[in-house]
């Protein structure tokens, strides 16, 4: 399948990720056939897409007329064969269970012509394992987005062991057309790149809190106001270049051995989860959200992210 020949895509799963990703495809001009097993979930996805449309217009990210046209390009169905009819590209965003995804890919392959690109938004399952049930694993690749999908620019394009160069190139081109920032992950390893970085930081943060070095609030503040303050503009390797590689190399010699090597989650974290403190969705986590509106917190988060996105686009364009 050539990139230029792609005009209609199927989105498989309309949950947290499926709704936002559908919006991005539609905004870039693609027709989207959004499928879910649950009609209620499709209704919720439509409401969410409408909310994204409103927010994007309000924030000046898209003209009202274009936003309306984008939304009209999204159709929904509870029938898998209907969603796959006439599509050139499929993005799967169903629950993170290997057998469920394999079952979907088996059906997708039998219902689509052999050159249709089949991508998965899996967070961490191996692309190779998902594609192992396919007769044409070369057209299966990873397209890993970050939440909220409609705002965060990064998309990891993952090469499974049998993914062809052509499939990687097409997923990359589609990602660029969506206005996102693709990164090619050349090896099908757990966590790909973004989750490995995210969880390396989380492991050290948990370790520092568990050992009483710092409070949860202050570990977050340290990242937001110090190390993380630079991250939208300078990655860790650029930071090292600017700071002097001799200095950073020297620090590695004594500090790496001090860093956490935990291979499972620490006990205090297990305990919090066992107590049902799951973060904002249950009112308590590392912080107390009782009496706080979840919608309001997420809205505020999205507004901060949009401000950041605008700034990144502005700098990129200058």
Binding site for ligand NAD (CB under 6 A): 12-18, 35-38, 41, 93-96, 100, 104, 121-123, 145, 147
Q: State which residue, 50 or 222, has the beta carbon closest to ligand NAD.
A: 50
State how far the Cα of 121 lies from the Cα of 139, in Å rounded to an integer: 15
- Smallest gap from Cβ 280 to ligand NAD, in A, equals 13
Measuring CA to CA, how many Å separate 154 from each of 48, 77, 183?
21, 28, 7
Is the distance from CB of 22 to CB of 28 less than 8 angstroms? no
Nearest residue relative to ligand NAD (C-beta)? 15
- Smallest gap from Cβ 31 to ligand NAD, in A, equals 19
Sequence-separated contacts (24+) of 291-297 with Cβ below 8 Å: none
Q: State which residue, 260 or 285, has the beta carbon closest to ligand NAD.
A: 285
- Smallest gap from Cβ 101 to ligand NAD, in A, equals 7
Q: State which residue, 18 or 141, has the beta carbon closest to ligand NAD.
A: 18
User: What values do phi and psi take at 159, rounded to 5?
Assistant: -90, 115
State how far the Cα of 229 lies from the Cα of 251, in Å rounded to an integer: 21
- Smallest gap from Cβ 258 to ligand NAD, in A, equals 31
User: What values do phi and psi take at 124, rounded to 5?
Assistant: -160, -5
Q: State which residue, 8 or 195, has the beta carbon closest to ligand NAD.
A: 195
Q: State which residue, 12 or 205, has the beta carbon closest to ligand NAD.
A: 12
- Smallest gap from Cβ 179 to ligand NAD, in A, equals 18
Number of CB atoms found within 10 A of residue 265's CB: 13
State how far the Cα of 14 lies from the Cα of 195, in Å rounded to an integer: 22
């Amino acid at each position: 399948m050539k990139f230029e020949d792609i005009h209609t895509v199927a989105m498989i799963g309309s949950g947290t990720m499926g709704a936002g990703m559908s919006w991005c495809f539609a905004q870039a001009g693609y027709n989207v056939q959004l499928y879910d097993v649950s009609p209620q979930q499709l209704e919720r996805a439509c409401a969410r897409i409408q909310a994204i449309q409103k927010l994007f217009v309000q924030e000046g990210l898209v003209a009202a007329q274009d936003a309306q046209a984008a939304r009209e390009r999204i159709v929904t169905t509870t029938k898998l064969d209907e969603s796959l009819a006439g599509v050139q590209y499929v993005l799967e965003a169903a629950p993170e269970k290997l057998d469920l995804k394999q079952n979907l890919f088996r059906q997708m392959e039998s219902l689509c012509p052999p050159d249709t690109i089949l991508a998965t938004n899996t967070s961490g399952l191996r692309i190779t394992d998902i594609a192992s049930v396919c007769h044409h694993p070369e057209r299966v690749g990873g397209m890993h987005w970050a939440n909220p999908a409609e705002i965060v620019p990064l998309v990891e394009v993952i090469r499974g062991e049998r993914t062809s160069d052509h499939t990687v190139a097409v997923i990359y081109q589609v990602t660029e057309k969506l206005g996102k920032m693709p990164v090619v992950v050349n090896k099908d390893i757990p966590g790909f790149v973004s989750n490995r970085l995210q969880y390396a930081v989380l492991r050290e943060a948990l370790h520092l809190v568990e050992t009483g070095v710092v409070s949860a609030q202050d570990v977050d503040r340290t990242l937001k106001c110090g190390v993380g303050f630079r991250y939208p503009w300078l990655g860790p390797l650029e930071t090292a270049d600017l700071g002097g590689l001799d200095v950073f190399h020297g620090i590695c010699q004594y500090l790496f051995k001090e860093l956490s090597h935990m291979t499972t989650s620490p006990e205090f974290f297990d305990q919090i989860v066992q107590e049902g403190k799951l973060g904002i969705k249950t009112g308590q986590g590392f912080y107390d959200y009782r009496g706080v509106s979840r919608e309001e917190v997420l809205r505020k988060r999205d507004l901060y992210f949009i401000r950041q996105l605008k700034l990144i686009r502005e700098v990129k364009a200058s």
